[in-house]
Structure 1
Amino acid sequence: MASTTWYAVLVAVVAVAIVASIRYALAEVFPYWILKGQKHSRPHVVTESYAGKTILITGAHGAFGSRAAKMFKNADTLVLIDLLDCTALKEEIEAECDAASTKRPNVLVWTVNMMSYASCAELGRKIKTLKSLDHALLTAGILSFSRRESPEGWETSMQVNYLSSALLALFILPVLKSSASNPNPPVLTMTTSFGIYPASPTMSNTSRPGSYLKHITRKDRFSLAQMQEHMYGKSKICLLYFARELAARVTAAQQANGKMELPVVTITSGDPGPAWTGLTQPNQEKLVPRLIQNYGSRDPQYGATSLVNSVSVGAEHHGNILTDNMKSLPHPSFMERASGQRYQQRVWDETRQELEANAPDIKAVYATLEAC
């Protein structure tokens, strides 16, 4: 009888452990309801007109960036930025405006090599020449399926998706200034991804000595934490930590200057959801990524629409993650815990050290943010 009781207790304990593990996995590593919601959503561009406004888009040659560029109706100036020449996209936009008998925007085509700090700094100097900047949408990114290193010595996903994107965000920040016809604060939007969830267990060990960013991207041993498949998600986690910290510091700096109202610059993170694009096409050859991609994917036009809305919101969305039709998503629970706050601070501090050492012009922007 006693043995039967102990057996029943053991079974109950195991069952509870299994249920708890499944709930943890779903909440922390694969919150499927986010993908499900995006897959069946059909967002539309909420803002009717961008008349008089200046919009900047990085990754403008990509699936999301190129589609987004065509949605900024009646814009005064469009700045298209990519490694690849966006002249063909400029001509498409102009042809579509002519066909619709609408005013052509002034389309500027600039290039940048996101593998190079020097190229990003050169672009930063160009950005300073803009008289106003209402919306800055950063979509540039890569999905690297084999490990390579940038000329700067970083794994390429971390270089492009995080470090160089953060550097450009900082160069853009002081240039953000609403045009005369825009009564709302300008918006800076960085692109996030569902990929942060499966990559989150690989972001531990902040107590290790040395560089945390180097640790999570190192190649000296094979383990779950070093799998190349997680590099994209890790880079996006770092970018989301950066966006959160930047938003908080912008708010604090404004308050330190005696401005207690909503910030004069709105910073958001836009989640376009999965789509089969040139970037993700190699996932067709990988079973699990293909299944996940198929589960959540929709036409990239909808993801681009979501990003356009994410960079068009009001100041009440400052610091938020935005998805379809300006709907806010909660930050992942792993970011909200005390450990997540430590990771965020460490990512911010190490990023500052890296960027100031390699792009000295950015020191002035960091100094402004230290007003808090």
Structure 2
Amino acid sequence: MVMTFDVSPETRAGLIHYFYRQLFVTPPPVLQRDVNLSGKTAIITGANGGIGLEVARQLLDLGCKVILAVRDESKGEIARKDLTNGRDLVSGFIQVWKLDLSSYDSIIAFAERAKRLESLDIAILNAGIYKVTESFSPTGYEEGVQINFLANMLLTILLLPIIKEKRVGSHPGHICVVSSDTAAWTKFEEGNSTPVLAAFKRKAADWNMADRYGATKLLGQLFLTELAKKVSSSVVTLSCANPGFCSGSELGRETHGIVRVIYKIQTYFLSRSSSIGARTLVHAVTTLGEQAHGQYIEDAKIQPMAVIVYKPEGQRLSKQVYEETLDELSFAGVRDIVNEISKAK
């Protein structure tokens, strides 16, 4: 879908526009009079606190059943009790499911469990990490790339046929992957490598935590741009969305020392609340419809992705990252899943 934006990718990527959005733009809430999700079910990953918890709260307000996908089930139960407080809900309206994105086995088991649901209409893939030191996962990939990109793309693909089959009503289900402003700021020097993903298995000569986090989010934008071409928006709508820099999230949980101090200063002066940030994610899956397919949502409206996505180099990288990712995740039969769902209309 060709989109016309009210701001250029270059302007949106600038710091002035970022500060303006953070300080002066407040996305509106999604209200019950506009959206009714009764009978529908949503999965929210990373839902035991911060943005994920607020997304779950707002979806509940719209009548949606929610599944809190969490690594720590005890924290998930605390979140469930918080969400239940003041609500008269039937048993099972809020569920807590185990999901460890550092484990492919856990992701596959989670998707297998989802197949047994009566309905599944929405998945908001919010869970991720912000690494402050370079570390590598058992797969050999840098840990942020493994969690923020590869794990989330595997879960996205595994959920595609489930949402296609179990959505309620005539409207397509929706998978939204949480993205970030930082995707537009990364140098993404790994994009000069062939293959691209293998570059994230090597120790970097000059590793930078902010740049690497941005790279993990840019990889997601590149991959989803290509995946959205294979999947019809009327079957499952795919998007990525940026809640903005929010207080109350656990994004900075690994920071320490002077980095921790800087993070807290930035949070004090620049952040919005998690409940405000969550509004954009809820808008993405409720009010924007199929026009959100393959798009980036920011402040409750469709906005440009990173500048490189619209350049010839980015179009080449989208295809390359897409093919490499399907190869990397081939153990889960992802290519067959995509091929099969691409036939549906």
Q: Which category describes the TM-score, using the shorter chain as reference length?
A: 0.7 to 0.9
Q: Secondary structure at the match of 1:81?
A: strand
**1:28 and 1:64, CA in 2 relative to 1: closer, same or farther beyond 3 A?**
closer
Q: 2:23 aligns with which of 39, 49, 54?
A: 39
Aligned to 2:304: 330
The answer to whether the 8 A contact 1:116-1:151 is kept is no
Query: Post-superposition shift, 1:268?
Result: 1.1
Aligned to 2:71: 83
Query: Post-superposition shift, 1:160?
Result: 0.7
Q: Distance in 2 between matches of 1:34 and 1:244?
A: 23
Q: 1:214 aligns with which of 182, 198, 208?
A: 198
Aligned to 2:224: 243
Q: Secondary structure at the match of 1:176?
A: helix
The answer to whether the 8 A contact 1:55-1:75 is kept is no
The answer to whether the 8 A contact 1:268-1:318 is kept is yes
Query: Post-superposition shift, 1:28?
Result: 8.4
The answer to whether the 8 A contact 1:188-1:311 is kept is yes
Aligned to 1:356: 330
**1:355 and 1:118, CA in 2 relative to 1: closer, same or farther beyond 3 A?**
same
Query: Which consecutive unaligned segments of at least 5 residues does structure 1 have?
Result: 1-24, 252-261
The answer to whether the 8 A contact 1:247-1:319 is kept is yes
Select between 196-205 and 301-310 the one with higher mean Cα deviation. 196-205
Query: Which consecutive unaligned segments of at least 5 residues does structure 2 have?
Result: 1-8
Question: 1:87-102 residue pairs with structure 2 within 5 A?
Answer: 87-98=77-88
Query: Post-superposition shift, 1:188?
Result: 0.8
Q: 2:42 aligns with which of 41, 55, 61?
A: 55
Query: Post-superposition shift, 1:62?
Result: 3.5
Q: Distance in 1 between matches of 2:201 and 2:31?
A: 40
1:229 aligns with 2:210: yes
The one-letter code sitting in structure 1 at the alignment partner of 2:155 is L
Query: Post-superposition shift, 1:329?
Result: 0.6
Q: Distance in 1 between matches of 2:309 and 2:123?
A: 25
Select between 138-147 and 274-283 the one with higher mean Cα deviation. 274-283
1:321 aligns with 2:296: yes
Query: Post-superposition shift, 1:155?
Result: 1.1
Percent identity of equivalent pairs: 26
1:184 aligns with 2:171: yes
Aligned to 1:6: none
Aligned length: 327
Query: Post-superposition shift, 1:330?
Result: 1.3
The answer to whether the 8 A contact 1:36-1:295 is kept is no
Aligned to 1:298: 272
Query: Post-superposition shift, 1:149?
Result: 1.4
Query: Post-superposition shift, 1:148?
Result: 1.5
Listed one character per residue, the Cα deviations across residues 127-152 of structure 1 (whole Å, up to 9, x for unaligned) are: 11122211110001000111121122
Q: Secondary structure at the match of 1:173?
A: helix
Question: 1:105-254 residue pairs with structure 2 within 5 A?
Answer: 106-177=93-164, 182-205=169-192, 208-209=193-194, 211-216=195-200, 218-219=202-203, 221-223=204-206, 226-251=207-232
Q: Secondary structure at the match of 2:124?
A: strand
The one-letter code sitting in structure 1 at the alignment partner of 2:306 is P
